[in-house]
Protein backbone atom coordinates (compact mmCIF):
# COMPACT_ATOMS: atom_id res chain seq x y z
CA UNK A 1 0.00 0.00 0.00
CA UNK A 2 6.82 2.75 -7.32
CA UNK A 3 5.21 6.06 -6.57
CA UNK A 4 3.56 8.23 -9.21
CA UNK A 5 5.14 11.53 -10.05
CA UNK A 6 2.52 14.15 -9.25
CA UNK A 7 2.80 17.87 -8.86
CA UNK A 8 0.14 19.95 -7.08
CA UNK A 9 -0.62 22.03 -10.18
CA UNK A 10 -0.66 19.21 -12.71
CA UNK A 11 -3.30 16.50 -12.40
CA UNK A 12 -3.29 13.98 -15.22
CA UNK A 13 -6.65 12.43 -16.21
CA UNK A 14 -5.42 8.86 -15.88
CA UNK A 15 -4.46 9.51 -12.27
CA UNK A 16 -7.96 10.77 -11.41
CA UNK A 17 -9.45 7.72 -13.06
CA UNK A 18 -7.09 5.20 -11.51
CA UNK A 19 -8.99 2.70 -9.40
CA UNK A 20 -7.93 1.36 -6.03
CA UNK A 21 -6.66 -2.19 -5.99
CA UNK A 22 -8.87 -3.60 -3.28
CA UNK A 23 -6.96 -5.10 -0.40
CA UNK A 24 -8.89 -7.55 1.78
CA UNK A 25 -9.15 -6.94 5.49
CA UNK A 26 -6.09 -8.68 6.90
CA UNK A 27 -6.97 -9.41 10.52
CA UNK A 28 -9.72 -11.93 9.65
CA UNK A 29 -7.11 -13.95 7.75
CA UNK A 30 -6.10 -15.26 11.15
CA UNK A 31 -9.45 -17.00 11.33
CA UNK A 32 -10.69 -17.07 7.77
CA UNK A 33 -9.04 -20.30 6.65
CA UNK A 34 -10.66 -22.22 9.48
CA UNK A 35 -14.23 -21.07 8.94
CA UNK A 36 -16.50 -23.25 6.77
CA UNK A 37 -16.72 -21.98 3.19
CA UNK A 38 -20.51 -21.99 3.38
CA UNK A 39 -20.22 -19.13 5.84
CA UNK A 40 -19.19 -16.68 3.13
CA UNK A 41 -21.41 -15.48 0.30
CA UNK A 42 -20.73 -13.55 -2.87
CA UNK A 43 -20.06 -9.82 -2.92
CA UNK A 44 -23.03 -7.58 -3.59
CA UNK A 45 -23.08 -4.15 -5.14
CA UNK A 46 -23.01 -1.19 -2.78
CA UNK A 47 -25.06 1.97 -3.27
CA UNK A 48 -23.37 4.95 -1.66
CA UNK A 49 -25.41 7.57 0.19
CA UNK A 50 -23.28 10.22 -1.48
CA UNK A 51 -24.07 11.52 -4.93
CA UNK A 52 -22.19 10.02 -7.87
CA UNK A 53 -20.39 13.31 -8.47
CA UNK A 54 -19.24 13.61 -4.87
CA UNK A 55 -18.04 10.01 -4.87
CA UNK A 56 -16.13 10.46 -8.13
CA UNK A 57 -14.35 13.53 -6.78
CA UNK A 58 -13.03 11.87 -3.65
CA UNK A 59 -12.53 8.37 -5.06
CA UNK A 60 -9.29 9.00 -6.93
CA UNK A 61 -7.59 5.72 -6.17
CA UNK A 62 -4.37 5.50 -4.22
CA UNK A 63 -2.33 8.45 -5.42
CA UNK A 64 1.03 6.87 -4.62
CA UNK A 65 1.58 3.26 -3.65
CA UNK A 66 5.11 3.78 -2.34
CA UNK A 67 6.18 1.33 0.36
CA UNK A 68 9.72 1.49 1.79
CA UNK A 69 11.75 -1.67 1.23
CA UNK A 70 12.08 -3.95 4.25
CA UNK A 71 15.82 -4.25 3.63
CA UNK A 72 18.08 -2.02 1.57
CA UNK A 73 20.02 -3.67 -1.26
CA UNK A 74 23.73 -4.07 -0.77
CA UNK A 75 25.91 -1.53 -2.53
CA UNK A 76 27.53 -4.47 -4.30
CA UNK A 77 24.22 -4.74 -6.18
CA UNK A 78 24.75 -1.22 -7.43
CA UNK A 79 21.81 -1.05 -9.87
CA UNK A 80 19.20 -1.99 -7.25
CA UNK A 81 20.96 0.06 -4.58
CA UNK A 82 20.89 3.18 -6.77
CA UNK A 83 17.24 2.61 -7.76
CA UNK A 84 16.16 2.17 -4.14
CA UNK A 85 18.04 5.29 -3.03
CA UNK A 86 16.44 7.28 -5.86
CA UNK A 87 12.93 6.10 -5.03
CA UNK A 88 13.41 6.89 -1.35
CA UNK A 89 14.76 10.35 -2.13
CA UNK A 90 11.96 11.10 -4.59
CA UNK A 91 9.34 10.02 -2.05
CA UNK A 92 10.92 12.19 0.66
CA UNK A 93 10.84 15.25 -1.61
CA UNK A 94 7.24 14.59 -2.61
CA UNK A 95 6.33 14.17 1.05
CA UNK A 96 7.80 17.57 1.90
CA UNK A 97 6.01 19.26 -1.00
CA UNK A 98 2.72 17.62 -0.07
CA UNK A 99 2.99 18.60 3.59
CA UNK A 100 3.62 22.17 2.47
CA UNK A 101 0.53 22.09 0.27
CA UNK A 102 -1.59 20.55 3.04
CA UNK A 103 -0.48 23.29 5.44
CA UNK A 104 -1.31 25.96 2.88
CA UNK A 105 -4.70 24.51 2.01
CA UNK A 106 -5.69 23.74 5.62
CA UNK A 107 -7.19 27.09 6.48
CA UNK A 108 -9.04 25.66 9.48
CA UNK A 109 -6.71 22.98 10.84
CA UNK A 110 -2.91 23.00 11.07
CA UNK A 111 -1.05 19.82 10.11
CA UNK A 112 0.60 18.03 13.01
CA UNK A 113 2.24 14.65 12.39
CA UNK A 114 2.09 13.42 15.98
CA UNK A 115 -1.57 14.32 16.35
CA UNK A 116 -2.38 12.77 12.98
CA UNK A 117 -0.68 9.47 13.89
CA UNK A 118 -2.55 9.30 17.20
CA UNK A 119 -5.86 9.86 15.41
CA UNK A 120 -4.92 7.39 12.67
CA UNK A 121 -4.21 4.63 15.19
CA UNK A 122 -7.55 5.17 16.93
CA UNK A 123 -9.35 5.17 13.58
CA UNK A 124 -7.58 1.96 12.60
CA UNK A 125 -8.61 0.27 15.86
CA UNK A 126 -12.19 1.52 15.49
CA UNK A 127 -12.33 0.07 11.98
CA UNK A 128 -11.09 -3.35 13.08
CA UNK A 129 -13.38 -3.46 16.09
CA UNK A 130 -16.43 -2.30 14.13
CA UNK A 131 -15.72 -4.84 11.40
CA UNK A 132 -15.54 -7.67 13.93
CA UNK A 133 -18.79 -6.56 15.57
CA UNK A 134 -20.48 -5.97 12.22
CA UNK A 135 -21.17 -2.34 13.12
CA UNK A 136 -21.78 -0.72 9.73
CA UNK A 137 -22.59 2.70 11.19
CA UNK A 138 -19.16 3.04 12.78
CA UNK A 139 -17.49 1.64 9.65
CA UNK A 140 -19.19 4.26 7.53
CA UNK A 141 -17.90 6.97 9.87
CA UNK A 142 -14.26 5.84 9.80
CA UNK A 143 -13.99 4.54 6.21
CA UNK A 144 -14.48 6.11 2.81
CA UNK A 145 -16.76 4.58 0.21
CA UNK A 146 -14.49 1.99 -1.38
CA UNK A 147 -13.20 0.62 1.92
CA UNK A 148 -16.62 0.71 3.54
CA UNK A 149 -18.12 -1.15 0.59
CA UNK A 150 -15.42 -3.80 0.77
CA UNK A 151 -15.84 -4.43 4.50
CA UNK A 152 -19.62 -4.20 4.39
CA UNK A 153 -19.77 -6.89 1.71
CA UNK A 154 -17.60 -9.14 3.87
CA UNK A 155 -19.95 -8.61 6.81
CA UNK A 156 -22.88 -9.58 4.60
CA UNK A 157 -21.14 -12.88 3.89
CA UNK A 158 -21.21 -13.99 7.52
CA UNK A 159 -23.77 -16.59 8.51
CA UNK A 160 -24.56 -17.32 12.16
CA UNK A 161 -21.04 -16.58 13.33
CA UNK A 162 -19.67 -14.06 15.80
CA UNK A 163 -16.30 -12.38 15.34
CA UNK A 164 -14.17 -11.25 18.24
CA UNK A 165 -11.16 -9.00 17.64
CA UNK A 166 -8.75 -7.56 20.20
CA UNK A 167 -5.90 -5.07 20.02
CA UNK A 168 -2.88 -5.96 22.16
CA UNK A 169 -0.60 -2.98 21.55
CA UNK A 170 2.08 -1.97 19.08
CA UNK A 171 5.01 -3.89 17.71
CA UNK A 172 6.27 -0.57 16.37
CA UNK A 173 4.84 2.92 16.68
CA UNK A 174 2.74 3.99 13.67
CA UNK A 175 4.89 5.66 11.03
CA UNK A 176 4.05 7.88 8.07
CA UNK A 177 5.68 6.49 4.93
CA UNK A 178 3.99 8.48 2.16
CA UNK A 179 2.10 11.79 1.94
CA UNK A 180 0.44 13.18 -1.15
CA UNK A 181 -1.78 16.18 -1.76
CA UNK A 182 -3.33 17.11 -5.09
CA UNK A 183 -5.24 20.21 -6.06
CA UNK A 184 -6.37 21.56 -9.44
CA UNK A 185 -5.71 25.07 -8.14
CA UNK A 186 -2.03 24.45 -7.41
CA UNK A 187 -0.50 26.34 -4.49
CA UNK A 188 -3.37 28.79 -4.16
CA UNK A 189 -4.74 28.89 -0.62
CA UNK A 190 -8.21 28.37 -1.96
CA UNK A 191 -9.73 25.63 -4.04
CA UNK A 192 -10.40 21.92 -3.84
CA UNK A 193 -7.63 19.70 -2.44
CA UNK A 194 -7.38 16.10 -1.31
CA UNK A 195 -4.67 14.63 0.89
CA UNK A 196 -3.66 11.00 1.31
CA UNK A 197 -1.30 9.63 3.92
CA UNK A 198 0.00 6.04 4.03
CA UNK A 199 0.77 4.83 7.54
CA UNK A 200 2.72 1.75 8.53
CA UNK A 201 0.70 -0.07 11.17
CA UNK A 202 2.61 -2.86 12.92
CA UNK A 203 0.38 -4.06 15.74
CA UNK A 204 -0.47 -7.06 17.92
CA UNK A 205 -3.91 -8.51 17.30
CA UNK A 206 -5.99 -11.58 18.04
CA UNK A 207 -9.06 -12.84 16.23
CA UNK A 208 -11.59 -15.55 16.97
CA UNK A 209 -14.79 -16.71 15.28
CA UNK A 210 -17.62 -18.47 17.12
CA UNK A 211 -20.71 -20.20 15.79
CA UNK A 212 -24.26 -19.73 17.11
CA UNK A 213 -23.53 -22.28 19.85
CA UNK A 214 -20.56 -20.17 20.95
CA UNK A 215 -18.15 -22.83 19.73
CA UNK A 216 -14.80 -21.65 18.42
CA UNK A 217 -14.70 -22.31 14.67
CA UNK A 218 -11.80 -20.11 13.61
CA UNK A 219 -8.79 -18.30 15.01
CA UNK A 220 -7.71 -18.34 18.64
CA UNK A 221 -8.58 -15.63 21.19
CA UNK A 222 -5.44 -16.47 23.17
CA UNK A 223 -2.98 -16.34 20.29
CA UNK A 224 -1.58 -12.91 19.50
CA UNK A 225 -0.27 -12.22 16.01
CA UNK A 226 1.96 -9.44 14.72
CA UNK A 227 0.09 -7.77 11.87
CA UNK A 228 1.83 -5.45 9.42
CA UNK A 229 -0.37 -3.28 7.23
CA UNK A 230 0.02 -0.09 5.23
CA UNK A 231 -3.18 1.91 5.66
CA UNK A 232 -4.10 4.81 3.38
CA UNK A 233 -5.98 7.66 5.05
CA UNK A 234 -7.69 10.38 3.02
CA UNK A 235 -9.19 13.76 3.77
CA UNK A 236 -10.63 16.59 1.70
CA UNK A 237 -8.21 19.25 2.91
CA UNK A 238 -10.31 22.12 1.60
CA UNK A 239 -13.37 20.97 3.57
CA UNK A 240 -13.25 22.19 7.20
CA UNK A 241 -15.81 19.57 8.26
CA UNK A 242 -13.98 16.57 6.81
CA UNK A 243 -11.82 14.21 8.87
CA UNK A 244 -9.13 11.64 8.08
CA UNK A 245 -10.76 8.34 7.13
CA UNK A 246 -9.47 4.99 5.91
CA UNK A 247 -9.42 4.92 2.11
CA UNK A 248 -7.77 1.55 1.57
CA UNK A 249 -4.62 -0.48 1.97
CA UNK A 250 -1.41 -0.81 0.00
CA UNK A 251 0.70 -3.91 -0.54
CA UNK A 252 -0.76 -5.85 2.37
CA UNK A 253 1.48 -8.84 3.16
CA UNK A 254 0.23 -12.25 2.10
CA UNK A 255 1.14 -13.87 5.38
CA UNK A 256 1.43 -13.04 9.03
CA UNK A 257 4.76 -11.93 10.40
CA UNK A 258 5.85 -14.54 12.89
CA UNK A 259 6.69 -13.49 16.37
CA distances from residue 194 to 14, 91, 225, 242 in whole angstroms, order as listed: 16, 18, 34, 10
Which residue, 14, 32, 36, 16, is CA-closest to 24? 32
The mean-pLDDT minimum among 91-95, 203-207, 247-251, 255-259 falls in 255-259
For residues 14 and 8, what is the distance between their CA atoms, to the nearest angstrom?
Answer: 15
Question: For position 9, what pLDDT does the model report?
Answer: 36
In three state form, how does the secondary structure of 114-129 look? HHHHHHHHHHHHHHHH
Give the per-residue pLDDT at 231. 97
pLDDT in tens, 93-144: 999 999 999 988 887 677 899 999 999 999 999 999 999 999 999 999 999 9
**Domains present along the chain, CATH in parentheses:** 78-257 (3.10.450.240)
The 10s digit of each residue's pLDDT in 172-219 is: 999 999 999 998 888 888 888 999 999 999 999 999 999 989 999 999
Residues in the chain, overall count: 259
- Report how far residue 7's alpha carbon sits from residue 147's, in angstroms, rounded to the nearest whole number: 26
Amino acid sequence: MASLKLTPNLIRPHVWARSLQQQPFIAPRIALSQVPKTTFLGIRAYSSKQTEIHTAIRDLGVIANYIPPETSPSITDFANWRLTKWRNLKNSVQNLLSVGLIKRKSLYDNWNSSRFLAEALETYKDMNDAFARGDREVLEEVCLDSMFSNLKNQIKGRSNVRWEWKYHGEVEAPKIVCIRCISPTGFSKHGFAIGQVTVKMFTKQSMAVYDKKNKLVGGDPNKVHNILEYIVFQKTISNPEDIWRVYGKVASPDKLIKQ
